[in-house]
A = this chain, B = another copy of it.
Amino acid sequence: MATKAQIRREQLREKLVEAAEIRIDQHGLSDLRARDLAKDAGCALGAIYNVFEDLNAIVMAVNGRTFKRLGQAVGTSFDGSEPPMQRLIVMSTAYLHFADKNTNLWRALFDLQMPNDGSVPDWYRSALKDLFSFIAEPVSELFPELDRVEMDLMTRALFSSVHGIVTLGLENRISGVPPEQIERMIAQVLSRIGNK
């Protein structure tokens, strides 16, 4: 059974992650301050470091939740009856809309400084694997001639391409365009890739 102290720790962790999620959503990752989170969660600044190693660890936890929601958005966007290329386009469009509606949280997935030793947490890799497995299925239907290594490269290349179109498209720097045009770019690129 969990002790009172354990329950309190768990509650504080939860409060801090929720506070960080709200702040990142509203103001972006770069404006996140431990001091503000302590205030939001009603704890002393030092208490944060009793339950999290550092601010990055809190952002990691937020990213875990964002990944889960992203996975749900992409995973429920198709019904499985679509031809594989159509399914890729539908999922990519869901990815775009998720990024458009949760821009700051989605950006934090990619902007968070990763551990310097190059190690990436297991849950992060596993969340990515889930996301990639949605893509891998239609890719394997589309390109049955590819071996496992090439299929894996193709899956990552397609995700990266769509990610690039969404990222630059949502920013007013390279190709700041309305989401409908971003959708068209995605469809243009993917349908030509699938059009063998």
**Contact residues of A: prevailing secondary structure:** helix
Instruction: Say yes or no: A196-B195 contact (C-beta < 8 A), given A160-B174, A185-B157.
Output: yes
Instruction: Say yes or no: A185-B156 contact (C-beta < 8 A), given A110-B173, A120-B172.
Output: yes
Stretch from A6-14, A19-27, A35-43, A162-170 that touches the partner: A162-170
Q: Does A101 contact B (CB under 8 A)?
A: no
| Chain A interface, number of residues (Cβ within 8 angstroms) | 39
- From B164, B177, B195, give the contact of A165 (CB < 8 A): B164
Whether A174 and B128, one on each chain, are in contact in the complex, defined by CB atoms closer than 8 angstroms, is yes
- From B110, B128, B174, B181, give the contact of A153 (CB < 8 A): B181
Residues of B within 8 Å of A120, CB to CB, are: 172-173
Cα distance A171–B154 in the bound complex, in angstroms: 17
Residues of B within 8 Å of A173, CB to CB, are: 110, 114, 120, 124
Q: Does A99 contact B (CB under 8 A)?
A: no
Most buried by B among A128, A164, A186: A164
Cα distance A184–B151 in the bound complex, in angstroms: 12
**A70 CB to nearest chain B CB (Å):** 13
Q: Does A50 contact B (CB under 8 A)?
A: no
Residues of B within 8 Å of A171, CB to CB, are: 114
Whether A161 and B165, one on each chain, are in contact in the complex, defined by CB atoms closer than 8 angstroms, is yes
Q: What are 22 A-B pairs at a CB distance below 8 A? A: A124-B173, A150-B188, A153-B181, A153-B184, A154-B185, A154-B189, A156-B177, A156-B185, A157-B165, A157-B186, A159-B168, A160-B165, A160-B169, A160-B174, A160-B185, A161-B165, A161-B189, A163-B168, A164-B165, A192-B192, A192-B193, A192-B196
